[in-house]
């Protein structure tokens, strides 16, 4: 039996946000896009818990953040037609991200925005498993609740894959690469779309 078959996935609660921010920070510490935005590893270790804490505070109220009973992984989904105050989002991100890193961070987010589909879909801005628990099927288990819902409600899903390894995971779950975002002097990121099955 695989770990994915035995892991319990459930919706996260507000009180779990600090722990899940740490988990996502750990998972993204060496992610190519984050390394491009924040090249210094010590700065990333300092910044990422605050950044992912902010992401969770923003999206947890939308009701589609999932975790495991062990709080060792999280998937942050944005449901169709969800409204987030973009001005407030940018203002708080500006407070969190060091000034030297802001040009790259905001350029990357602008490129994401240019590729983002306009039609209704579930969007996955972040999914991560604590480094010591990766490659055990937990990410697949975290994808399942929303992808099952997408299929039953006939709603597509969208994400940006920031690594080849993650891209392979998403391909296994029915996502298709629909483009490529090339960061200047940096890594490629692959927008991916999944039609309901």
Q: What is the pLDDT of residues 41-88, one digit of tens each?
A: 999 999 999 999 999 999 999 999 999 999 999 999 999 988 788 888
In the chain, where does DSSP find H-type helix?
3-6, 17-28, 32-37, 41-59, 86-96, 102-115, 138-153, 164-172
Residue 22: pLDDT band (50, 70, 90) is very high
pTM of this structure: 0.91
Task: Please provide residue 123's backbone torsions phi and psi, each rounded to the nearest 5 degrees.
Answer: -120, 135
- Percent over 90 (pLDDT), the chain: 83
Q: How many CB atoms lie within 10 A of CB 23?
A: 25
Q: Return all residues near 3 (Cβ < 8 A) that are at least 6 apart.
A: 136, 137, 138
Name all domains of the chain by residue range, CATH numbers in brackets.
10-194 (3.40.630.30)
Q: Which residue has the tokens 């030297």?
A: 100
What pLDDT score was predicted for residue 130?
86
């Amino acid at each position: 039996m695989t770990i994915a078959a035995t892991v319990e996935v459930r919706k996260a609660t507000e009180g779990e946000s600090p722990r899940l921010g740490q988990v996502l920070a750990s998972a993204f510490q060496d992610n190519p896009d984050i390394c491009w935005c924040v090249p210094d590893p010590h700065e990333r270790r300092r910044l990422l818990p605050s950044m992912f804490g902010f992401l969770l505070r923003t999206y947890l109220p939308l009701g589609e953040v999932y975790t495991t009973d062990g709080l060792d992984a999280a998937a942050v989904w944005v449901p169709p037609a969800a409204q987030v105050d973009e001005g407030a989002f940018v203002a708080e991100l500006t407070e969190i991200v060091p000034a030297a890193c802001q040009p790259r961070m905001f350029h990357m987010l602008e490129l994401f925005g240019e590729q983002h589909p306009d039609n209704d879909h579930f969007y996955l801005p972040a999914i991560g498993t604590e480094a010591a628990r990766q490659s055990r099927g937990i990410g697949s288990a975290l994808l399942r609740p929303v992808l099952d819902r997408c299929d039953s409600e006939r709603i597509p899903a969208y994400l940006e894959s920031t690594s080849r390894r993650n891209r392979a995971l998403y391909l296994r779950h029915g996502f298709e690469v629909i483009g490529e975002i090339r960061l200047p002097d940096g890594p490629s990121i692959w927008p991916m779309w999944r039609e309901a099955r």
